[in-house]
Structure 1
Amino acid sequence: MSKHLPRLVLILAAASVLFPFLALFSAALQPQTELSPGLEWPSDPQWGNFATAWTTAGFGSLLKSSAVIALGVVPIALILATLAGYGLASMRLRVKEPLFAVLMLGMALPYEAIVIPLYYDLRSVGLLNSYWAVILPLIGLLMPFGVYWMRTHFESLPQELTEAAAVDGAGSWRTLTRVLLPTAGPALTTLGLLYFMWSWNQFLLALVLIQNPAMRTAPSGLGKFVQQFGQNIPLLSAGTIIVITPIVLLYLFFQRHFIKGILQGAVK
């Protein structure tokens, strides 16, 4: 029994993850007149629910906005987190630990506490109702976790790597780009996927800082869609699947790198 226990646990874990997706997909194919769809496969799948949800909610422009925001956040946030993590891992300063502690306080800062001051600050500089109104605050809000992640990665590397680079006459920049970054592939991939997912799923900042409904993110558009079709479970399920599909596909494409990065960080 103990021999098959790990396999049984994995099967149960996989079922707990797949079951909600299957239930959601089954509900999306039910007739719109069905107020409480069951879990059985419909005899006449209503594939048109996806087209109706797409056109009614305007998911084309919403998905584009989510992609623009995510692709704007991820590269800049990765570069800044890598540089800051490398600096905090290699610097020899008395204020390094207090500086890192202050930075980590940002991980406990909720979005709700800063969204109103952000609104007035961005309005004063003319960035309100633009993609930058969400991209710039998100980069700042995601920095604490990213810096912590990259600092942990750089500190876990053998010190002999940097010492050998210093002996060869390499400066800090060359040591980072030529020696350390080639080892950071899994860590950067995992952090990039997390950044993309958090940016894509951004709801509150997009809702408050962007007044144009067509420029908001897909989750914020889905929130309005829920208000409009709160009783239409099949249509809501179809809209939810449209919003989460890009994230699921991205994870499936990078899952090996993602899992490798997670396990690498756990082992270290």
Structure 2
Amino acid sequence: MTGDPAQIRAGVSVQGGARRDVHRALPEELPVAVTVNGSTHAVMMATPADLEDFALGFALTEGLVGAASEVERSELVAFDEGIEARLWLPEAQAEVIAARRRSMAGPVGCGLCGIESLEQAVRALPVLPDSGLRIPGAEVAGATDALRDHQPLHDRTHAVHAAGFLRPGEGIVMAREDVGRHNALDKLIGACARAGIDMGQGAVVLTSRVSVEMVQKTVLAGAPVLIAVSAPTAHALRLAEGAGLTLAAFARCGGFDIYAHGHRIVTEESDVA
């Protein structure tokens, strides 16, 4: 229903002064409106694939619902202008959401468009419990490499982000892609919720930097470990520290940095904090 997430387009490649015609797969992006009981809550530019996962993940990380079971039904409706991802909740719950509804219409990767106050930008996060989860350092070091095997759209276009869920001893058990890194994470969270995967038993793995919103979404999804190929921002690190989130960054080339709550990562060194 949502079509091919990539389109083949013609271009001219110039290499070493020589020109040749090429055809490249380019990632598609369309306006996707998330609606709740017929009212638009947000409009984001997204890759038109796995949009049921996106809508549910967005609803979970934005606090529209506390669990997938609260969604009575969902549907995707395509229009010439874009796609509506429609969620239907109990009427009383939808009325509460409508009272605080905010509309977001922004570019890809903008995770804070449309907020109405500074307090909304840095919302309070719950503190993650220490459930005893431990991940071998070797799995953390290889996490982003393992995710590469779950990025078919990236292989076609070389222009999208991915988010994956790593379960210790099993590797990447779920992954989603999108032109927007926030969207990819929302899709992953929604996919895990729909599949009944407990995100408290593993780690989120990202192909992007770690910004405030990525920490927020990870914590609200209940995942205690976040592994990223690139750096965290200083503010994202402060949030991770306060929420009890284990944060590992620069996970590539067989190594990684630990920035917060390193006790969940088991390495040969005994003094990792």
Q: Tell whether the structures are fold-level matches, with TM greater than 0.5.
A: no
Higher strand share: 2
Highest relative contact order (Cα 8 Å, sep 6+), 1 or 2?
Answer: 1
TM-score, with length taken from structure 1: 0.24
Higher helix share: 1
Which of the pair has more CA radius of gyration? 1
